Chain A
Amino acid sequence: MILLSGVGKTFRGRDGGRVEALSDITLRVAPGEFVAIVGASGCGKSTLLRLVAGLVPVSLGRVEVGGELVTEPRADTAMVFQAPTLLPWADVLRNVTFPLRLMGKATSRTEEDARALLAKAGLAGFETKLPRELSGGMQQRVAICRALLQQPRVLLMDEPFGALDALTREEMSIELLRIWAETGAAVLFVTHSISEAVLLADRVVVMSPRPGRIADIIEVGLPRPRDFAQEGTPQFHEAAQRIRALIYAKKEVAHGAA
């Protein structure tokens, strides 16, 4: 579904110098697969998502979605940001339908679908509330519903739970899995949390910084549907340990070199 081959990205810095954000990224994500990307801050995780979203052009290599070269944002790709980024003037329902209305793809069924999706996310009864009347967790649920209503084949999530408290975070990750399971979308999920990555993903891409490269890809191999009980299993711990080792090993090398 998503194919990155030999992708590199270089930004021009303010001082005119070149900053290599990503180098030689090759990754294939199957339809309906859930892939998490973890790595230290500044390893280009968010840039990688923006390349797939078509928001930022690649410097090297190619990005394909559904077999087509990505040159601009696609209608079948949806994105969830770290902040809910809701329209403060629009109520929950109009926020969720905003992308479809903006793309001129809203139909008579859109509102009905939106209501059903909101109900599934535990937001029934909040359709006419304004964003600032909701808690942070509820706002992020609205943002996820907004992305899912587009029925994307590719769902890009940039630390969607990063701004939430730990309890809300755990609750939302299980909810996300439940709702995602019905959509069959391919997911690229950027996170700082190793346990979140292992709990959610089929495969975890571990990245190393400066320039951002893929250090390794870990198969999680836990059965679905997932739940918190699996966090106690040896498989979970083994996957988490391998990811941790990859991230910290790279750090030590970097420190040693510096």
Chain B
Amino acid sequence: MARPNLSGPIAVILLFVLWEGSVQAFGIREFLLPAPSVIASEAWTIRGAILNHTLATLQTVLLGFAAAVLISLPLAMAIASSPVISAAIYPLLVITQSIPKVALAPILIVALGANEVPRVIVTFLVAFFPLVVASVAGLLAAPPELIELGRACRAGRVQQMLRIRLPYAVPFVFGGLKVAAALSVVGAVVAEFVGADAGLGYLIQTSMAFFRTPLAFAAVVILALMGMTLFALVGLMERILFPWSSSSQTNIPAA
């Protein structure tokens, strides 16, 4: 077993120490840049409310992420299976991706009401595109010889897709899932900025309206942790479910 690499955590701790030290040394005012200790103590005093905001955001993130997964994979299979479908769908995908989601969010909220649905849709819209692109790339990445092997074994198109292309795409799909997990957090916050009565995005907006900068910083830190955790969980799932997958490839014990 190799020694765990500690340089990442040490760098983060050093950054916080530097932050705390310079705020104290230069007497930076709290509403401009609060010290980490102030952020922590202010957050702790309203920890119940912060927990509720965190759970509200987490719900939006997870629902949006789940929608992205459920819709992206069949969509990617349709695109990869036929050039005609691909030519029809890809421009639409690029259009949805070119529209700024911040611009779309208020329109959706007017149309669908100030509830969870438009927030989940915005989260989904932010997260699904890289997942579709990665999955399509994966489905088309199977080497031509492997497809020929399938054809030589008299496999039809559906069998080729399910028995060769789909498993071959797993490492690509997980690459897309990791990006989508991190982007889901971004999407949820964008939606909460525009229309929400709870959530960390809502907390940031209301805190800044009253110059309670430490609370906004606390929300940002929690969002970062949420994104990192989801990213790590996707990676963990890959290692457990698909240990052969190359995107999770680490050292193989010698045979």
On A, residues with C-beta under 8 Å from B are 50, 53-55, 72-73, 75, 77-79, 81-83, 85, 87-89, 98-99, 102-103, 126, 129-130, 132-133
Q: CB-CB < 8 A to A98: which residues of B?
A: 153
Q: How far is the CA of A66 from the CA of B148 in the complex (A)?
A: 22
A85 to chain B: closest residue by CB:
B145
Knowing A87-B167, A129-B255 touch, does A81 contact B153 (C-beta < 8 A)?
no
Interchain CB contact (< 8 A) of A85 among B149, B170, B252: B149
Q: Please, which residue of chain B has its CB at the minimum distance from the CB of A130?
A: B244
Whether the Cβ atoms of B153 and A103 lie closer than 8 Å is: yes
4 more A-B contacts (CB under 8 A) besides A81-B149, A129-B255? Answer: A79-B148, A83-B145, A103-B154, A133-B252
Q: How far is the CB of A99 from chain B (nearest CB, A)?
A: 4
Alpha-carbon distance between A29 and B149 when the two chains are bound, in angstroms: 23
Interface string of B117-157 (1 = CB under 8 A from A): 00000000000000000000000000101101111111100
Q: Which of B149, B154, B159, B168 has most chain A Cβ within 10 Å?
A: B149
- Are B153 and A99 in contact, CB atoms less than 8 angstroms apart? yes
The answer to whether A73 and B151 touch (CB under 8 A), given A85-B146, A89-B170, is yes
Of A79, A126, A129, which one neighbours B152 at CB under 8 angstroms?
A79
Q: Does B19 contact A (CB under 8 A)?
A: no
A sample of 30 cross-chain residue pairs with beta-carbon separation below 8 angstroms, ordered by A number, consists of A55-B148, A55-B151, A55-B152, A72-B154, A73-B152, A73-B153, A75-B154, A78-B152, A79-B148, A79-B149, A79-B152, A81-B148, A81-B149, A82-B145, A83-B143, A85-B143, A85-B145, A87-B164, A88-B244, A89-B167, A89-B168, A89-B244, A99-B149, A99-B153, A102-B159, A102-B163, A129-B255, A132-B244, A132-B252, A133-B255
Q: Output the nearest chain A residue to B164 by Cβ-Cβ distance.
A: A87
In the complex, which residues of chain A have a beta carbon less than 8 angstroms from the beta carbon of B164? 87
Whether A77 touches B152, Cβ cut-off 8 Å, given contacts A83-B143, A83-B145, is yes
**Residues on the B chain within 8 Å of A82, using CB:** 145
Contact B153 A102 (CB under 8 A): yes
B246 contacts A by Cβ under 8 Å: yes
**Residues on B with beta carbons closer than 8 Å to the beta carbon of A54:** 152
Judge whether A53 and B152 touch: CB under 8 Å: yes
Interface residues of B in 148-181 (CB under 8 A from A): 148-155, 159, 163-164, 167-168, 170
Whether B242 sits at the interface, judged by CB under 8 Å, is yes
Q: From residue A97, how far is it (CB to closest CB) to chain B in Å?
A: 11
- Cross-chain contact of B155 among A83, A89, A102 (Cβ < 8 A): A102
Q: How many residues of B contact A (CB 8 A)?
A: 23
Q: Which residues of B are found within 8 Å of A75, using beta-carbon distances?
A: 154
Complex: A82 Cα to B149 Cα, angstroms:
12
Closest Cβ of chain A to B183, distance in Å, is 27
Rounded to whole angstroms, the CA-CA distance of A102 and B150 in the bound complex is 8
**Chain B hits for A102, CB < 8 A:** 150, 153-155, 159, 163
Which residue of chain B has its CB nearest to the CB of A88? Answer: B244
Complex CA distance for A98 and B153, rounded to whole angstroms:
9
Contact partners of B149 in chain A: CB under 8 A = 79, 81, 85, 99
Tell me how far the C-beta of A13 lies from the nearest C-beta in chain B, rounded to whole angstroms.
18
Specify which of B145, B153, B167, B170 lies most central, judged by the most chain A CB atoms within 10 Å of its CB: B153
Task: Please give, as numbers and ranges, the residues of chain B lying within 8 Å of A55 by CB-CB distance.
Answer: 148, 151-152
Closest-CB distance, B168 to chain A (whole angstroms): 7
A91: min CB distance to chain B, Å: 9
Q: Which residues of A contact B150 (CB under 8 A)?
A: 102
Interface centre among B146, B152, B163 (most CB of A within 10 A): B152
Looking at the complex, which one of B145, B151, B163, B252 makes contact with A81 (CB distance below 8 Å)?
Answer: B145
Q: How far is the CB of A188 from chain B (nearest CB, A)?
A: 14
Q: Given A55-B151, A79-B149, answer yes or no on A89-B255 (Cβ-Cβ < 8 Å).
A: no
B145 proximity list for chain A (CB < 8 A): 81-83, 85
Least CB distance from A9 to B in Å reads: 16
Residue of B nearest to A135 (CB): B255
Bound-complex Cα distance A204 to B217 (A): 77
CA distance A247 to B92 in the complex (A): 54
Contact B242 A89 (CB under 8 A): yes
- Name B252's closest neighbour in chain A (CB-CB): A133
Residue in chain B with minimal CB distance to A100:
B153
Chain A hits for B155, CB < 8 A:
102-103
